[in-house]
Amino acid sequence: MKRKTLKNKKRIVIKIGSASLTHHETGLLNLDKMERLVRILTNLRNHGRDVILVSSGAIAVGRNALGFVEKPTEISIKQACAAVGQARLMMVYQKLFSEYNQMAAQILMTKDTMLNDISRKNAQNTFNELFKLGVIPIVNENDTVSTDEIDIGDFGDNDTLSAIVTALVGGDLLILLSDIDGFYTDDPHRNKDAKLISYVDEINDELLKMAKSSTGCSLGTGGMATKLSAAKIANASGADMAIVNGDDVRNINRLIDGKDIGTLFIAHKAKDFNIMDYIRTKTKQFS
């Protein structure tokens, strides 16, 4: 019954990772998938919804453009890849969105964007103004200038960033596009007996133990542990969160139409929830 209410969501944040954006064989952008994604997001916007896309891929795109076969480990090289890749990635997004007469905007955020009261308020105002203008913001972490976002662990991934953005803009649904069908009792790539969990009413210790710290993919940085962290933020801020398979981006529409796919984490808005408390705690943890 809860899934039927998803069609009423008005402000939706969708996160897509590097693994879902690229061809597994080459690491190059999957343009067919990106085109379908852009069409779906534009149609959601045409339906009157506010839409934000949180997109990984800058480092992956840049590393291929610069000829790196393996994923770089040095921060300076990652930053160089991000500088090249972010421009190329946005160029592709802008071209695809323009095909559907849809305006898109780039917003690059860092930890300091949220920690600084003025910067955070400015970011919030920018999002709200873009919504009024019918623009779809495309968000990524500013890996070019910040080492924290690349190397800070739980904060430095776009699963967590998408949840923080959801809380910042007052979103009511966060969708994480993953490389598997949802949250399982174990890693389904390694355990054929792993069971898909359709609903999560509460994120407890048992659920946390099931989470894996890595998906085993060379492109992505966020495993199931980061997705649970994102769910805790989104749910506490008052948003439902879903994990669905990003191999077929039409799962976005299926989810919103109430189909029983993926894993749905039910919102439990906390009266004393403050996104700044979470960020400050994580900053102290990794400082």
List the beta bridge partners of residue 52.
13
Half-sphere exposure of 255 (CA within 13 A, CB side): 31
Confidence tier at 217 by pLDDT (50, 70, 90): very low
Tell me if 49 sits within 8 A of 261, measured CB to CB.
no
Tokens of 134: 């019918």
Tell me if 259 sits within 8 A of 252, measured CB to CB.
no
- Give the pLDDT score at 212: 54
- Give the pLDDT score at 152: 40
CATH of the domain at 78: 3.40.1160.10
Which of the residue ranges 12-21, 61-70, 150-159, 243-252 would you say has the lowest mean pLDDT? Answer: 150-159
Alpha carbons 71 and 61: distance in angstroms, whole number: 11
What domain range includes position 150? 2-286
Confidence tier at 154 by pLDDT (50, 70, 90): very low
Which of the residue ranges 160-164, 209-213, 225-229 would you say has the lowest mean pLDDT? Answer: 209-213
- Give the pLDDT score at 63: 93
Half-sphere exposure of 245 (CA within 13 A, CB side): 10
- Give the pLDDT score at 214: 39
Average the pLDDT over 189-207 and give the result.
88
Q: Tell me what percent of the residues of the chain surpass a pLDDT of 70.
A: 88
3-state SS class at 143: coil
Alpha carbons 108 and 156: distance in angstroms, whole number: 13
Q: Count up the domains in the chain and report the number.
A: 1
Tokens of 175: 């969708």
- Give the pLDDT score at 259: 95
DSSP code at position 227: H
What one-letter code names the amino acid at 222? G
pLDDT in tens, 10-47: 999 999 999 899 998 888 999 999 999 999 999 999 99
- Give the pLDDT score at 151: 42
36 phi and psi angles, rounded to 5 deg: -65, -40
